[in-house]
Amino acid sequence: MKLCNFSLLSTIKTQKYKMHLLQPKHIKISEKESEKFLKDLNVSKAQLPKILLNDPALPEGCEVGDIVKIERKDEGEINTYFRVVV
């Protein structure tokens, strides 16, 4: 009796999962938007909170140094947070 189907496990591990309904929306902002954002707040990327490159919530195509905008819904209100990918 086979307990585990290896091909099924490898498919599950390599498959990209879609965003869960309750997961906050993560959006990679453009370089132009990130420069404007940093200038408006008078901060550097090093001063922003961090998010790891291997975080499953990150959109595809993110690289180290990108800024990600996170939108969380809280009691009908949308709160916006920013993180830099490390």
How high is the pLDDT of residue 40? 95
pLDDT digits (tens, 9 = 90+) for 33-60: 999 999 999 999 999 999 999 998 898 8
Q: What percent of the chain stands above pLDDT 90?
A: 59
Torsion of CA 27, 70, 13, 60, to 10 degrees: 10
The pLDDT assigned to 9 comes to 43
Q: Which CATH superfamily is domain 19-85 in?
A: RPB5-like RNA polymerase subunit (3.90.940.20)
Tell me 82's DSSP state.
Answer: E
| pTM above threshold 0.75 | no
14 has pLDDT over 50: no
Taking 80 as the threshold, does the pLDDT of residue 2 lie above it? no
